[in-house]
Structure 1
Amino acid sequence: MIKTIRIDLISDIVCPWCIIGYKNLEHALSKLSDSLKADIYWHPFELNPMMKSEGENLREHIAEKYGTSLEASIAARQTISELGQDLGFEFKFSDDMRIYNTRKAHQLLLWAQSESLQLDLEMALFQAYFTQRQDISNTTVLLNIAESLGLERNVCELVLQDESWAEAVSSTEYQWLEAGINAVPAMIIDKKHLISGAQPNEILVEALIEIARL
C-alpha cells in the first residue's frame, strides 16, 4: 500500500536554492515511489516584495543585500550551476542577469492550484527565469508562459489585474512569517514537520521515511 503525505513548499521563483531543493525532493520521492507519494502545494515567499518594476542587476543586488564579494558570487554561481546540472536543471547565469519582482508570478501560481497546473507553472517559471533569463515580472511574459501550459490567457490576465489576488499573496506570506518561516526553501510535511533549506536527496529520503513511518 502506498502512503500519501502532504508537502507544503514555501519558495520564491528567483531563489536558486528553491528549485534545487525541489529537485532534490523530486529525486527523494522517486526513490520511495513504491511506498510513498506526495501531494505538493506551493506557497509564496517574496524575497524582495518591494523590488521596483525594472528589477536590479542580480550580482549588484546580492552584493548590496548580503555583502557578497565578486569572488564569492562567482563561486556560488559555479556551485549552483553544478548542482543544477546534477539534478537535471540548467542555470544560465550572466553578468547582466537581473532579479525581478515576483508578486504577479505568485498571483498566477496561487490561482493555478485550482486548475491543477500549479506545479507545471512553477517549473515553467523557474526555467523562464534561470534558464531563459526572461523578465518574470512582465505581464506579457507571464501570460505567454501560462498560455503555453493550457491556461486561458484572458482569465490569467484578470488574475494579474485583480488586486484581491495580490492581497492573497501578501496575506499568505504574512501567515508564514507569523509561523516562523523567514527563509526559503522551507518544506512542511503533513502540516507539522519542518525541513529548512535545500537538503540533499539522501537526507530527504531519511526524513521522509521517518516522518511517514514507512
Structure 2
Amino acid sequence: MSDKPKVMVDIWSDVMCPWCAIGYAQFARAVKELDGEIEVEARWMPFELNPDMPPEGKSQADHIAKVHQRTPEQISEMQQGMEARGEAAGFPLSFTGDDGEPAMMWNTFEAHKLLRWALTAAGPEAQTRLKVALLEAHFQQHRHVGEREVLLDIAEEQGFDRQAAAAALDDEALAIATRMEERRGVEAGINSVPSFVFAGRYLVPGAQEPEVFAATIRKVAELVEAV
C-alpha cells in the first residue's frame, strides 16, 4: 500500500465546455508535477450546460448568437481566443472541422450516463480515459458525440465492451442516477463548469493555472493528513 497522501477530486464538467477541456489539461499538468508526492484520484460528475439541446444539435455560432447576444465578429474573436488558450494549455481546440463545417453543440445527457457507467464498471482511471476521449472527439475530431453509435464507438475504442455500454445507455436506473447526481451538484452550489471539489469539501472553480491546482492539492493533502 502506498504511504503517499491521497486526495480525491470530483470534477463537475460538460463535454461541450471548452473551459472544461482547458481546465482539465492544466489540472493534469499539476497532477503530473505531484507524481511521487501525492496520489490524486479524479472522478467526473455530470453537469449539462444546455439540457434542452435537441438531439439533432445546433450550430455553436447560432446558439451563442441567440443565447449570449453575440455578433458573428464577436463569436469569431471568442473562438480565436479559446483556441489560443487551448494551445497554451496543451489541449488544441478547433471550432471548424477539416471539411470546413462549423462547430456544433450536442445534447450530452447520454455522454454523462456513459461516463457514470464507466466509473462504476471500470473505475476512475478508465472513466478519465473515456472523458478525455469524448473531449477530443468533440473539440478536435468534430464527431457527433450526441449520437448513440458515436458514443459506443468511442467507448469501444477506449477498451469498454460495446454491448455492455449499449445496455448501460438503455438502463433507466442509470438515467435516474445520473439525474440525481446532477441535482446533487446543483444543491451543493455547483453552478458553473469546470468545478473541482477536493476531498468532498474544497471547491476550486474554473480553469485555473497548473500551479494553482498543485498548491491546492498540496494544501488539501496536508489537511487530510491532519484529520
2:48 is aligned with 1:46:
yes
What are the ranges of 5 or more consecutive residues in structure 1 without an aligned counterpart? none
Letter in 2 for 1:51: M
TM-score (norm 1): 0.95
Matched residue, 2:8:
6
Aligned length: 214
Letter in 2 for 1:160: L
Matched residue, 1:181:
190
Determine helix, strand or coil for the equivalent of 1:17.
helix
2:138 is aligned with 1:129:
yes
Quick one: distance in 1 between partners of 2:222 and 2:78?
36
Determine helix, strand or coil for the equivalent of 1:183.
coil
Letter in 1 for 2:57: G
Post-superposition CA distance 1:118-165 (Å, at most 9, x none): 011101100111101111011110111111111111111111112222
2:59 is aligned with 1:57:
yes
Determine helix, strand or coil for the equivalent of 1:5.
strand
Letter in 2 for 1:212: A
Quick one: distance in 1 between partners of 2:46 and 2:198?
17
Q: How does 1:125-164 map to 2 (within 5 A)?
A: 125-164=134-173
Q: Post-superposition shift, 1:66?
A: 1.8
Q: How does 1:1-214 map to 2 (within 5 A)?
A: 1-94=3-96, 96-114=102-120, 115-116=122-123, 117-213=126-222
Quick one: distance in 2 between partners of 1:35 and 1:130?
32
Post-superposition CA distance 1:79-121 (Å, at most 9, x none): 2212222232221112621100001111110000121320111
Post-superposition CA distance 1:44-102 (Å, at most 9, x none): 00111111110110011112122233233222211221222223222111262110000
Quick one: distance in 1 between partners of 2:190 and 2:90?
28
What are the ranges of 5 or more consecutive residues in structure 2 without an aligned counterpart? none
Identify the range of structure 1 (90-99 vs 143-152) with the bigger mean alpha-carbon deviation: 90-99
Q: Post-superposition shift, 1:206?
A: 2.2
Quick one: distance in 2 between partners of 1:61 and 1:136?
17
Q: Post-superposition shift, 1:196?
A: 0.5
Q: Quick one: percent identity of the two aligned structures?
A: 35
Q: Post-superposition shift, 1:23?
A: 0.8
The verdict on how the C-alpha distance between 1:72 and 1:200 changes in structure 2, with shifts beyond 3 A counting, is farther
Quick one: distance in 2 between partners of 1:120 and 1:204?
20
Say whether the 8 Å CA contact 2:7–2:220 is kept in structure 1. no
Determine helix, strand or coil for the equivalent of 2:81.
helix
TM-score (norm 2): 0.89
Say whether the 8 Å CA contact 2:7–2:217 is kept in structure 1. no
Measured on the aligned residues, the alpha-carbon RMSD in Å equals 1.5
